[in-house]
Amino acid sequence: MMKANMQVDLLILGMGAAAELAAIYAHDARPDLNILIATKALKGKGGCSRMVQGGFNVVLDPGDSHEKHLMDTLKGGQYINNQDLAKALVEEATPTVKELETVSGCFFDRREDGHIHQKAFAGQCFDRTVHKGDLTGIEIISRTTEQIFKRRIPVLEETRAVELLLDSEGKTVTGALLFNMRRGEFLVVEAAATLVATGGGPTQYRFHAPGPEKSADGIAMLYRAGALMRDMEMIQFHPTGLIVPGSVVAGALLEEGLRGAGAHLYNGEGERYMLRYAPDVAERATRDVVSRSAYLEMMAGRACPEGGVRIDAAHLGADFVLKNFPGMAERCAQFKYDLARGMVPVSPSAHFFMGGGVIDTECRASLDKLFVAGEDAGGVHGANRLGGNGICESCVYGRLAGKSIARYLGKAENRSIKKTKPGLAADMVARLSAPLSRATGTNPLHNRTEIQESNWNKVGVVRNKADMESALGDFASLRKDVDAAAVSGGAYNMVFNVHLDTLNMMDVSVMAATSALQRDETRGAHTRSDFPEQRDDYGLFNTFLWRGPDGLPQWEKRAVEFKHKSLEACQKHKK
Q: Residue 185 pairs with which residues in a beta bridge? A: 180
Tell me which amino acid residue 389 is. N
Contacts of 167 by beta carbon, 8 Å cutoff, 6+ apart: 174, 418, 419, 420, 421
Count Cβ atoms below 10 Å from residue 490 Cβ, excluding itself.
8
What CA–CA distance (Å, rounded) separates 202 from 207?
10
> Are the CB atoms for 160 and 497 separated by under 8 Å?
yes
Look up residue 266 and give its amino acid: Y
Q: What is the Cα 396 distance to its own chain's centre?
A: 15
Residues 335, 214, 15, 35, Cα dihedral to 10°: -160
CA distances to 151, 356, 372, 375, 387 from 366, rounded to whole Å, are 30, 12, 10, 16, 28
Which residues are marked as active site? 238, 259
- C-alpha torsion 302→304→306→308, nearest 10: -60
Q: What is the DSSP string of 409-450?
A: HTSGGGSS-PPPPTTHHHHHHHHHHGGGG-SS-B-HHHHHHH
Distance CA 228, CA 256 (A): 32
Of the candidates 58, 39, 2, the residue with the CA atom closest to the CA atom of residue 399: 58
| Contact in structure between 72 and 573 (CB atoms under 8 Å) | yes
Task: Find, among 279, 286, 234, the residue nearest to 573 by Cα.
Answer: 286
List Cα–Cα distances, 196 to 12, 343, 391, in angstroms: 6, 40, 16
Q: How many residues does the chain have?
A: 575
Contact at 8 Å (CB) between 399 and 96? Answer: yes
Q: What is the DSSP letter of 315?
A: G
* Maximal C-alpha separation, the chain: 68
Is 209:26 a contact under the CB 8 Å cutoff?
no
Q: How far is CA 316 from CA 35, 80, 240, 260, in A?
A: 48, 37, 18, 12
Q: Which residue type, as a one-letter code, is found at position 177?
A: L
The DSSP secondary structure of 212-248, one letter per residue, reads: TT-S-HHHHHHHHHT--EE-TT-EEEEEEEE--TT-T
Q: 3-state class of 142 per DSSP?
A: helix
